[in-house]
């Protein structure tokens, strides 16, 4: 990961809204009715070129392909890995189940219903590398034109795949994780070899507590968490830590989140993960206060924080002064050169689900860049990040 000794850099978590025609094509793929392959490739290539240019124009320093080709940030792997089919089970998160009337009022239906998703039914291998190679080529071409400060590409962690795609084949959860790690290592290594920063999406490290093992004690969850981090480290063993970052979150949905595990209860295990960058939610009402954890817990040498300084589930466009305040909290605790401004999560974790209008999405990213500029002025030049206000008498 490239750093700056002069200012706070800006990035985001990964997914960005797809153009309407591409979104429709991805939905068809998810439903088993893929469009013409050549037409789809042209759509993706154009979307990647556009979204990279829009990120740079919004003031982002570290950009990606917006995950334009992916149905979702985790289940896209079924197009690349063997061993998936049949029907697994997915249910609403327990925090939403605690408020069924609220969920019904928002049109979510009966939250006790299960949703059929693919499951692991056979040995997992990396069987189809063509989509990965195409993604790498599209991103390489797009950044050649826009010339951002740095470039990353996202990939699902072994743990998050295990969270959403139920194991119906391996003898144990641990066996399943290690099979996934061995398979996903192909993708991780390819992204690194292409010269991009590897971001591994790890919602399982936080969200897994209330979705994957909701009835477990904290200590039981921490033991599971160690298995997930071990698998992640196994899969990234040939990539320098400084060339990787992880993203952990508690679920990119606007819900109660009252069952979220506190960051302080898992941070020591998160630190064991090899990637140097740690991206996490820090702007939403459930987790914004947790910057204080770093007043008591030292950030290990070599680690860099990428806190979310804008929320990805609300259409409010954050004021740059608020963004600056959020950045300054972390910079004053861990050091200005160990903080990169980020977003809580992606803006379109699944292609068919982009709750925020695309124009608002990029307005929020612009606000983040403006806030980072204000924070940088205070941190490096001593210029106040805030604008003094004179109240009328």
Write the CATH number for 28.
3.20.20.210
342-386 pLDDT, tens per residue? 999 999 999 888 889 999 999 999 999 999 999 999 999 988 887
Structural domains counted in the chain: 1
d(CA 373, CA 379): 10
The pLDDT value given to residue 25: 94
Give me 305's structure tokens: 């924080």
Question: Is residue 114 pLDDT above 60, yes or no?
Answer: no
The answer to whether residue 345 is domain-embedded is yes
Query: What is the average per-residue pLDDT within 12-23?
Result: 96
pLDDT recorded at residue 117: 84
**Whole-model pTM?**
0.95
In this structure, is residue 6 part of a structural domain? Answer: no
In whole numbers, what is the pLDDT of the chain averaged over residues?
Answer: 93
Is 242 within the bounds of a domain? yes
Q: What is the pLDDT of residue 386?
A: 78
What pairing do the DSSP bridges indicate for beta strands 114-120 and 84-91?
antiparallel
Q: Which residue has the higher pLDDT, 34 or 194?
A: 194
Q: Are 118 and 84 a contacting pair, CB within 8 Å?
A: yes
Tell me whether residue 11 is in a domain: no
Beta bridge partners of 90: 115
Bridge partners of 10, per DSSP, are 341
Domain coverage including residue 35: 20-77+125-381
Mean pLDDT of 305-319: 97
Tokens of 28: 């068809």
pLDDT at 251 over 70: yes
Phi, psi of 72 (to 5 degrees): -155, 165
First to last CA, the chain: 50
Report the C-alpha gap between 68 and 195 in whole angstroms.
19
Q: Does 189 map to a domain?
A: yes
Q: Which of 203, 189, 229, 212 is nearest to 346 (CA)?
A: 203
- Mean pLDDT value across residues 314-324: 97
Distance, CA of 93 to CA of 280 (rounded, Å): 19
Say if residue 111's pLDDT is above 70: no
Q: Which of 254, 276, 282, 248 has the alpha carbon at shortest distance from 368? A: 282
Residue 149 within a domain: yes
pLDDT at residue 32 in the model: 85
**Separation of alpha carbons 216 and 221, rounded Å:** 6
In a domain, 4, yes or no: no
Asked whether residue 387 is domain-assigned, the answer is: no
């Amino acid at each position: 990961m490239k750093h700056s000794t002069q200012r706070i850099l800006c990035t985001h978590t990964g997914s960005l809204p797809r153009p309407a025609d591409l979104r429709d094509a991805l939905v068809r793929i998810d439903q088993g009715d893929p469009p013409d392959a050549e037409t789809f490739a042209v759509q993706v290539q154009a979307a990647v070129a556009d979204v990279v240019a829009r990120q740079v124009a919004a003031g982002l320093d570290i950009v990606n392909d917006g995950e334009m080709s992916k149905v979702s940030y985790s289940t896209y792997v079924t197009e690349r890995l063997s061993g998936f089919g049949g029907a697994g089970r997915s249910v609403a998160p327990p925090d939403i189940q605690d408020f069924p009337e609220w969920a019904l009022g928002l049109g979510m239906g009966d939250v006790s219903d299960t949703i059929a998703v693919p499951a692991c039914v056979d040995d997992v291998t990396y069987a189809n590398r063509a989509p990965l190679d195409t993604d790498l080529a599209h991103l390489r071409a797009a950044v050649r034109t826009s010339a951002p400060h740095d470039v990353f590409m996202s990939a699902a962690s072994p743990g998050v795949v295990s969270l959403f795609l139920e194991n119906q084949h391996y003898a144990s959860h641990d066996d399943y994780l290690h099979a996934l790690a061995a398979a996903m290592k192909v993708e991780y290594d390819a992204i690194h070899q292409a010269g991009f920063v590897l971001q591994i999406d790890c919602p399982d490290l936080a969200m897994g507590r209330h979705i994957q093992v909701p009835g477990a004690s904290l200590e039981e969850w921490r033991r599971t968490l160690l298995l997930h981090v071990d698998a992640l480290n196994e899969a990234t063993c040939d990539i320098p830590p400084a060339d990787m970052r992880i993203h952990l979150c508690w679920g990119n949905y606007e819900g109660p989140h009252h069952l979220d595990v506190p960051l302080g209860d898992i941070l020591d295990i998160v630190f064991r993960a090899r990637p140097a960058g740690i991206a996490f939610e820090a702007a939403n009402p459930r987790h914004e206060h947790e910057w204080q954890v770093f007043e008591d817990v030292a950030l290990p040498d070599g680690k860099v924080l990428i806190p979310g300084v804008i929320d990805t589930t609300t259409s409010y466009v954050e004021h740059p002064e608020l963004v600056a305040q959020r950045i300054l909290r972390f910079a004053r605790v861990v050091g200005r050169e160990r903080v990169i401004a980020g977003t809580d999560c992606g803006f379109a974790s699944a292609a068919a689900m982009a709750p925020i209008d695309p124009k608002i999405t990029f307005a929020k990213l612009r606000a983040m860049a403006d806030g980072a500029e204000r924070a940088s002025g205070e941190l490096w030049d001593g210029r106040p990040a805030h604008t003094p206000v004179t109240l009328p008498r």
